[in-house]
Structure formats: structure tokens, C-alpha cells
Amino acid sequence: MCARYTLTKKEKDLLKAYQVKLPPDFQPNFNLAPTQQGLVITADEPDIAQKMHFGLVPYWAESIKLDFSTLNARSESATMAKTWAPLLKNHKTCLVLADGFYEWDKKSGKPVPYRFVLNDRELFAFAGLWSQWKNKITNEVYRSFTIMTTVANDTVGKVHDPKFRMPVILDQSEEALWLSKDLSVPDLMSLCNPYPDDLMNSFRVSTSVNSTVINKVHNNHPDLILPLNSL
């Protein structure tokens, strides 16, 4: 699964990697947690990167507070799921921009955080789905997204049980395909594969990242992404 990730690069780096218009209030996030806003590029508006909440709220939900998790969509069964199938059918796909993600090794009984990054590029995109929910009383619009997952590769599996999940990281050549409205749903799902082990790296980070909020303030600072031996 993927419940916490990072997008720490500056605007100039984002613009170099993705030729899109950025929101004026974009800020790097070293500890992006559920309900916070991430940066996504949608198939409907591929020329802009927009902020949406992490944790998808289906358009049919009664409120934005759900009693089930929508942080991740399991790619193997997404086409049969009430929450995800309509989004795939209607091409509500998006690129979730990132430069790393966290997972926790719990084999010792205590959660030990690791950060995963790519060797071949600093910025990348998770395959995502997005939805728009509207409050029936106030007409307030709430846009949100989920991250597709697949079986873990060996790099991620070393932290958890080999049967663990990992986010779908798209190859650069696959990003345009994920946003294409000409691709069939089966062809879209064929893109949801584990990222190659030789193109990934991981390292331990401080347990400070375990907390998303400290004293009612978002726990978000550059030291969170540093390898443990460099602190």
C-alpha cells in the first residue's frame, strides 16, 4: 500500500519534468499524509497540475467522512469494485506527482520507517484515480484521489512480507498512456506493474516521520527524508 509519500522538489524542477501550469500556492511536502493535498495531473486537464486531497471520496458518498479506506486502489480487482470501476470506465485517471514514499518495517514489533526513491529519476508519478464530490447543501466541491497499488517488488518486499503491496509507479513512457482517453480499461490495467528493482533504492529514516501532526501542526520538514546515518 501507500499511505504516506513526499513531493519535495522546487517549482523549477517540477516544471522541467512536467510541462504544466502549477498552482500559485504550491509548497513542498516532506510527509504527505491522508486528507492532505497532493499534486495531480488529470486526463481531463493534462496541461495543469492541481491540488487534490489524498484519499478518494466517491461522488456518491453522503459525506467526505468515510467508514472505509480509499487511499489505495488494488489494481487486480479495481475493474470490479463499485468505487473504482466507474472512474476507470470514464477515464478519471491522474498522475500523482511524487519523489519518494514511506513504508514501515514492523517485523521487530516497532514501526521502523524507510523511504523509497528511484535511481533513474528524481521526480515520478504514481498511477492514480480521482473524483469530485459535491456537498448537496452548500455545493462545496471536494476533489480527491487514490493511488493504484500492485504486488510488491523485492525492494519493497524486504521491508514487509513479500506479499505486501506497493504503489504503481509509472515509467515515463507510460505516463501519457495512463492519461490517454483512447486506451481501453484492460490496456490501462496492463500498466499497473511493480517497478523494476534495479531502478529503486531505499533507506531508513528517522522515526520522527511516524507522526503526521505534532502539537496540532503538520510534521513537515526536510530532515524527515534524510537517511538515518546522515542525521
Per residue in 42-64, pLDDT (tens digit) is 999 999 999 999 999 999 999 99
Give the CA distances from residue 186 to residues 37, 73, 105, 126, 228, in Å, rounded to whole numbers and listed in that order. 29, 15, 33, 18, 41
CB neighbours of residue 50 within 10 Å: 18
Write down the pLDDT at residue 161: 61
- pTM, two decimal places: 0.96
Catalytic residue among 94, 103, 174, 175: 103
Residue 159 pLDDT exceeds 90: no
Q: Which long-range contacts (CB under 8 A, 24 or more apart) does 115-120 make?
A: 115/6, 115/202, 115/203, 115/205, 115/225, 115/227, 116/155, 116/156, 116/200, 116/201, 116/202, 117/200, 117/201, 117/202, 118/169, 118/195, 118/199, 118/200, 118/201, 119/198, 119/199, 119/200, 119/201, 120/199
Residues 6+ apart with CB under 8 A from 65: none
The CATH superfamily of 5-230 is: SOS response associated peptidase-like (3.90.1680.10)
Based on the residue annotation, tell me whether 103 is a catalytic residue of this protein.
yes
CB neighbours of residue 162 within 10 Å: 11
User: What would the mean pLDDT of 79-105 be, rounded to a whole number?
Assistant: 97
Q: Which of 28, 23, 72 lies closest to 45 in space, CA to CA?
A: 23
Tens of pLDDT along 199-218?
Answer: 999 999 999 999 999 988 99
User: What would the mean pLDDT of 111-132 be, rounded to a whole number?
Assistant: 96
Tens of pLDDT along 7-23?
Answer: 999 999 999 999 999 99
Residue 231 pLDDT exceeds 50: no
Based on the residue annotation, tell me whether 2 is a catalytic residue of this protein.
yes
Q: What percent of the chain is modeled with pLDDT above 70? A: 97
Confidence of residue 163 (pLDDT cuts 50, 70, 90): low
Q: What percent of the chain is modeled with pLDDT above 90? A: 89
Confidence of residue 110 (pLDDT cuts 50, 70, 90): confident
Catalytic residue among 2, 94, 174, 175: 2
**What value does the mean pLDDT of the chain take?**
94
User: What would the mean pLDDT of 37-43 be, rounded to a whole number?
Assistant: 98
Tens of pLDDT along 172-195?
Answer: 999 999 999 999 999 999 999 999
